């Protein structure tokens, strides 16, 4: 049994998405002590910028590819192999500038360069469990002024769920900026409550994922 954990926060200290992923990973390990956890830190160790070359590699006969295209295609294949070797996927993603972190977008774009991952009708990871944990500095709930401004979470759900076929759970902690923005200090208690709820939901989802994978094994 193998969990692939992917982090994207630029922060290693004080990161809410990493803390939620830590809790989820711990729940996976508790439910499956013999399981392996493979980590990819897109925020701390961004992938090399090979996507522009990789994007065109698939349109060239292999013998005609440039060395850059070969390098890009090889990295795309390695990322797809990494996904295919995982029984479950955990992605921890902050909201940056109302969108997906560029390192995550780059990872998605590279994965989709590989022919195994670019057919929506033949999903890469059908039925495998996936958990997206999201950290947002502000509040985006129904009826708030920023309702609908999170363009990251729906995109990630579209790719990981609809395109790659993961059975997705999404968990979000909002108002995280209350810990560093004095203008949001009055929201600290609400942020803490949201974090606690998100942590519990992430742990529950990951424990259920481990149990499901074990049953299917």
Ligand X SMILES: Cc1cc2nc3c(=O)[nH]c(=O)nc-3n(C[C@H](O)[C@H](O)[C@H](O)COP(=O)(O)O)c2cc1C
Q: In the complex, which residues of this chain contact ligand X (CB under 6 A)?
A: 9, 11, 15-18, 94-98, 135-138, 176-177
Min. distance of Cβ 61 from ligand X in angstroms? Answer: 41
Nearer to ligand X, 11 or 70 (CB): 11
Nearer to ligand X, 69 or 194 (CB): 194
Q: 178 near 187, Cβ under 8 Å?
A: yes
Alpha carbons 167 and 6: distance in angstroms, whole number: 17
Min. distance of Cβ 146 from ligand X in angstroms? Answer: 7
Who's near 27: CB < 8 A, 6+ residues apart?
202, 203, 204, 206, 207, 210
**Which residue's structure tokens are 């200290």?**
13
Min. distance of Cβ 135 from ligand X in angstroms? Answer: 4
Nearer to ligand X, 115 or 154 (CB): 154
Number of C-beta neighbours around residue 45 at 10 A: 10
Alpha carbons 159 and 89: distance in angstroms, whole number: 13
Nearer to ligand X, 75 or 202 (CB): 202
Nearer to ligand X, 23 or 113 (CB): 23
- Burial per residue of 101-139, b for 16 or more beta-carbon CB atoms within 10 angstroms, e otherwise: bebbbbbbbbbbbbeebeeeeebbbeebbbbbbbbbbbb
Nearer to ligand X, 43 or 130 (CB): 43
Min. distance of Cβ 149 from ligand X in angstroms? Answer: 8
Determine which helix (DSSP H) or strand (DSSP E) holds 40, and give its type and residue range. strand 36-41
Min. distance of Cβ 153 from ligand X in angstroms? Answer: 11
Q: 110 near 75, Cβ under 8 Å?
A: yes
Min. distance of Cβ 119 from ligand X in angstroms? Answer: 32
């Amino acid at each position: 049994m193998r969990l692939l954990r992917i982090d994207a926060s630029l922060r290693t200290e004080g990161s809410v998405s990493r803390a939620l992923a830590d809790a989820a990973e711990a729940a996976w390990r508790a439910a499956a002590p013999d399981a392996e956890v493979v980590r990819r830190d897109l925020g701390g160790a961004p992938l090399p910028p090979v996507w522009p070359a990789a994007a065109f590699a698939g349109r060239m006969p292999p013998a005609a590819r440039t060395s850059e295209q070969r390098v890009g295609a090889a990295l795309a294949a390695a990322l797809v192999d990494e996904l295919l070797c995982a029984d479950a996927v955990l992605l921890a993603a902050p909201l940056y500038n109302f969108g997906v972190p560029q390192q995550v977008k780059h990872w998605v774009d590279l994965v989709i360069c590989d022919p195994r991952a670019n057919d929506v009708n033949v999903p890469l990871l059908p039925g495998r469990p996936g958990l997206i944990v999201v950290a947002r500095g502000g509040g985006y709930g129904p009826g708030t002024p920023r309702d609908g401004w999170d363009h990251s979470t729906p995109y990630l759900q579209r790719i990981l769920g609809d395109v790659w076929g993961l059975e997705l759970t999404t968990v979000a902690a909002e108002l995280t900026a209350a810990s560093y923005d004095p203008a949001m200090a009055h929201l600290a208690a609400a942020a803490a409550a949201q974090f606690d709820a998100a942590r519990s939901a992430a742990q529950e989802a990951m424990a259920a994922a481990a149990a499901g994978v074990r049953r299917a094994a």
